[in-house]
Amino acid sequence: MKQLMTGNEAVARGAYEAGVRHASAYPGTPSTEILENLSTYEEIETEWAPNEKVALESAIGAAIAGVRSMVSMKHVGVNVAADPLFTWAYMGVNTGNVLITADEPGMYSSQNEQDNRNYAKAARWAMFEPSDSQECLDMVKAAYDLSEEYDTPVMIRMTTRVCHSKSIVKLGERADVPVREWVKDPAKYVCLPAIARNLRVKLEDRMQRLAAYSETSPFNQAEYREGKIGVIASGICYYHGKEVFGEDVPYLKLGFTNPLPAKLIRDFCARLETVYILEENDPYIQEFVERLGVSCKIVGKDTFPPYGEMTPDVIRTCIHGQGHKTIDFDRSKLIARAPAFCAGCPHRGLFYRLGKRKDIMISGDIGCYTLAAGKPFSAMDSTVCMGASFSIGHGAQKAFDLTGSNKRVVAVLGDSTFFHTGINSLINTVYNKSNTVNIILDNRITGMTGHQDNPGTGFTAKGRPTTLIKIEELVRAIGIRHIRVIDPNHLQEVDEALDAFLALDEPSVIITRWPCALKKFSQADQDEFTDLFITKNKISEDKCTGCRLCMKAGCPAMSFDTERKKAVIHHAQCVGCDVCTQICKHDAIVKEV
C-alpha cells in the first residue's frame, strides 16, 4: 500500500514494522509527531518522559531487557541526553535501540542550530541520514537489524524538512521479533572503570567493523556518470542538489554517515576534477573527505554557508551567484506577522503585569511564553535552554546581592519545563539560598509543541489515566515555604502575589493555574475550572474613549478602528478571559448577554 507520509510518520511506521515494542520521548519541534504516531500503534508502549535523558534511559532499559526500543527528541534534547548517550555506546545493546535526533537547520522553532552528527562521531554511534519519507521507514528498519548485528545503538539524524515534508511511502508488514531474554552480564552492562576500559577497546573494534559495513551499505550509493564534476550529499541535500545539478552528473549519496566509507569516497573522487559536498550545517563529511587527501578540488563550506537550510535556492545562489529571476516589489509594504499569545492565553494576564514592574530582571525559559519577550509585553530578559530560568535567575540574584544592587529576579517557566529540568534548578535555589520569585505557568498541558501530556496532567502518552503529580506538593517537599496558586487572568491576584513574594528574603513559588485556551479540556479541567471560556466580551461604545490602552493586552481577538477611534472585539475569537476588561480604565468592556 502507498501512502503520503511525513518523515516523522514514516519513522513511526518503520519502528512499527521493525517490531519495536517500547518508545519514549520528550516533545520538541520538529520531532514531536514521532512519538505521537508511535502512540497510535497498539503494539507499542509509548511514554512521554519528563526529559530527554530520562527518555533515552528508559529506552536503554527496554533494550537491555529484551525488546526493541526507540527514543526521539529534537536536536537540543540530545544535549540533555548526552550523559547516557556516551556510555551506552560502550555497552552495546541486547535488542535493537534507535535514537532519532531531529535537527533544525534554520531554527524555525528552536533556540540554536547544532549538527548532531558530531554526537554520533564523538560517542561512536552508528548513524543514518534519511533524505525522504521512504528512507525514513527503510533506514529505521535497517537500523534495528544493524543494531543487533553489530551490538550498537543507532542514531538517525533527521532535519526539519525531512521530519515535516510528505512523500510517498510503500508500507510493509510488522515483523515478529522475538524477545531476547535478559541474562545477567555485568561485564557488558556495569560500566565500572575496569569494565569500561575493556568495553572502550571493543568499541574501536566495532567501529572498524561498522566502517566495513559503510563501504557496502545499500544506503551509500555512487551514481557514476560521465563528467568531471560530481556531488557528494547526505540527507535532504541530495534532493536539493538534484534540483540544481540535475540528473547528468555523478552523485555519491551518503545515507549511512558514521562511520563514513573512506574507500567508496576515494574511488568516487578519483574520477573527478571537482567534488561539491552538500550537507546541512557543519562540514562533517567535508572534513572527512579532506583528511582522505583526495586529489580533486573540494567545494564545501568555503562556498556554502554552515548555517541555515541548504535549500535549492541557497545552493544555486552560492554556485551561480544568483537564483531564478524573481518579481521585485516594494517590501516596505510588508507587515510583520509574528506569532502571538492566543485569545484567552493564560500567560497574557501575568506578563501584562510582570512587564510593568521596575527593578526586576525576568529570567525566562523555553515555551510559548518566550513570546512575552516581544511587544507589547517586553517581559523577558533571558532565555537559554529548558529549565534554565530558575538556575540562571538564581545566579543573577546572587550577583545582584554580591554587588549591592537592589534588583530582584523573577524566574518564569511552564509546567512541562518545570518537570523537564526546572526541578533541579529550584532545588539549587533552595539549597544555595537566593530569594528569587519563581513562577510556574501551569496551563495543564505541554503547550507549544501542540498539547502533549506531562507528569502534571494526569494522563499518559497513550491517553491512559495516571498519577497526577501536584506541583505545589512537589515544591513544598523541596523546601519552598511560600507558595501561591493564582488565577493569572485576575490581575489583582497577580499583583498581590508579586508584591508579597518580592518582599521576601527567601525563595518563593507562584503557580499560575489556568488551562491553555486551545486545550481539549478533560473532565478534571471542567470540574476544576468552572465557566471555562464560555462567555464573550464586547465594547460598550459610548464608554470607549479610544485611549487604546486595551491594545496593550496584545490580544488577537481585539483591534482598533482608527476611523471611529473605538476598540473592537471580534466575537468569533473572544473567549471571555476578561484580561482586557481589567485593563480598561473606563468600564468600556462588558459581557455579551
Q: How far is CA 155 from CA 27, 116, 123, 191, 432, in A?
A: 18, 9, 10, 21, 38
Site for another protein in 119-138 (CB under 8 A): 132
**Stretches 295-303, 329-337, 465-473, 478-486: which one binds another protein (CB under 8 A)?**
329-337
Residue labelled with grid coordinates 544555595: 432
What's the min distance (Å) between Cβ of 319 and another protein? 13
Report d(CA 459, CA 467) in Å as an integer.
Answer: 8
Report CA torsion sign: 387, 389, 393, 395: positive
What's the min distance (Å) between Cβ of 3 and another protein? 8
Q: Is 382 in the site for another protein (CB under 8 A)?
A: no
Report d(CA 68, CA 177) in Å as an integer.
Answer: 8
Nearer to another protein, 309 or 453 (CB): 309
Convert 227-260 into a string of H (helix), E (strand) and C (coil).
CCEEEEEECCHHHHHHHHHCCCCCEEEECEEECC
Which residues, in sequence order, are bridge partners of residue 240? none
Q: How far is CA 438 from CA 424, 429, 490, in A?
A: 13, 10, 18
What's the min distance (Å) between Cβ of 132 and another protein? 7
> Which of 184, 333, 464, 520 is the binder for another protein (CB under 8 A)?
333
Nearer to another protein, 488 or 507 (CB): 488
**Stretches 251-259, 309-317, 407-415, 526-534: which one binds another protein (CB under 8 A)?**
309-317
Residue labelled with grid coordinates 529505521: 140
Q: Decide: 4 and 29 in contact? Cβ < 8 Å.
A: no
Dihedral over alpha carbons 116, 119, 125, 127 (to 10 degrees): 20
Which residues, in sequence order, are bridge partners of residue 590? 538
Q: Can you say how many angstroms the Cα of residue 173 is from the centroid of all Cα atoms in its chain?
A: 30
Residue labelled with grid coordinates 510583520: 336
Q: Is 327 in the site for another protein (CB under 8 A)?
A: yes
Q: Is 171 in the site for another protein (CB under 8 A)?
A: no
Q: Is 291 in the site for another protein (CB under 8 A)?
A: no
**Stretches 200-208, 340-348, 492-500, 535-543: which one binds another protein (CB under 8 A)?**
340-348
Site for another protein in 523-562 (CB under 8 A): 548, 551-552, 554-556, 558-560
| Closest C-alpha to 433, from 360, 508, 506 | 506
C-alpha cell at 582: 481589567
**Stretches 84-92, 175-183, 285-293, 317-325: which one binds another protein (CB under 8 A)?**
317-325
Q: Is 395 in the site for another protein (CB under 8 A)?
A: no
**Stretches 222-230, 328-336, 438-446, 491-499: which one binds another protein (CB under 8 A)?**
328-336
What's the min distance (Å) between Cβ of 328 and another protein? 7
> Which of 184, 291, 325, 464 is the binder for another protein (CB under 8 A)?
325
> Which of 287, 313, 487, 528 is the binder for another protein (CB under 8 A)?
313
Q: Is 320 in the site for another protein (CB under 8 A)?
A: no
Q: Decide: 433 and 421 in contact? Cβ < 8 Å.
A: no
**Stretches 240-248, 295-303, 481-489, 504-512: which one binds another protein (CB under 8 A)?**
240-248
Cβ-based neighbours of 395, under 8 Å, separated by 6 or more: none
Chain contacts with another protein (rule: CB under 8 A): 2, 4, 29-30, 108-109, 132, 160-161, 164-168, 236, 239-240, 242-243, 309, 311-313, 316, 323-330, 333-342, 368, 371, 375-376, 448, 450, 518, 548, 551-552, 554-556, 558-560
